Amino acid sequence: MFRLVYGKEVVMPAEFIVPSLQVATITNMVETNTMQRRLDQLMEINEDRFIISFHQRVQKVQRKVWHDKHIGNKYFHQGMLVFLYCSKFLKHLGKF
């Protein structure tokens, strides 16, 4: 929200004590070791996010395969009684 209003990320006061990458670039800090460590941490975070998203996608596919394997087919014949549900009519019924 802050970025939408002001066009930049929020800077917390604690970041001036332990500078973030944004504060370091604004104040032109020349400590290359600190900036290099910060960039390395950011790269590790990006790698972790990629690995986590990959595992989530794999789990989603595995759940879909299991579900599709265990779902039962339902066959309907003429004369059978079935329940027809249409949610578009719920708004006309009011709240229960």
79 is a domain residue:
no
Residue 93: pLDDT above 70?
no
* Residue 76 domain flag: no
Q: Is 95 among the domain residues?
A: no
Domain range for 19: 1-53
pLDDT for 29 equals 58
**27, two tokens:** 């104040």
What does the alpha-carbon distance between residue 96 and residue 90 come to, in Å, rounded to a whole number?
Answer: 10
Within-domain flag for 38: yes
Residue 78 lies in a domain: no
Q: In this predicted structure, which of 31-35, 48-52, 68-72, 74-78 has the lowest mean pLDDT?
A: 31-35
> For 5-59, how does the pLDDT look when each residue is reduced to its tens digit (9 = 90+)?
677 766 655 545 555 666 666 666 556 777 788 778 888 888 888 888 899 999 9
Q: CB under 8 Å to 56, separation ≥6 — which residues?
A: none
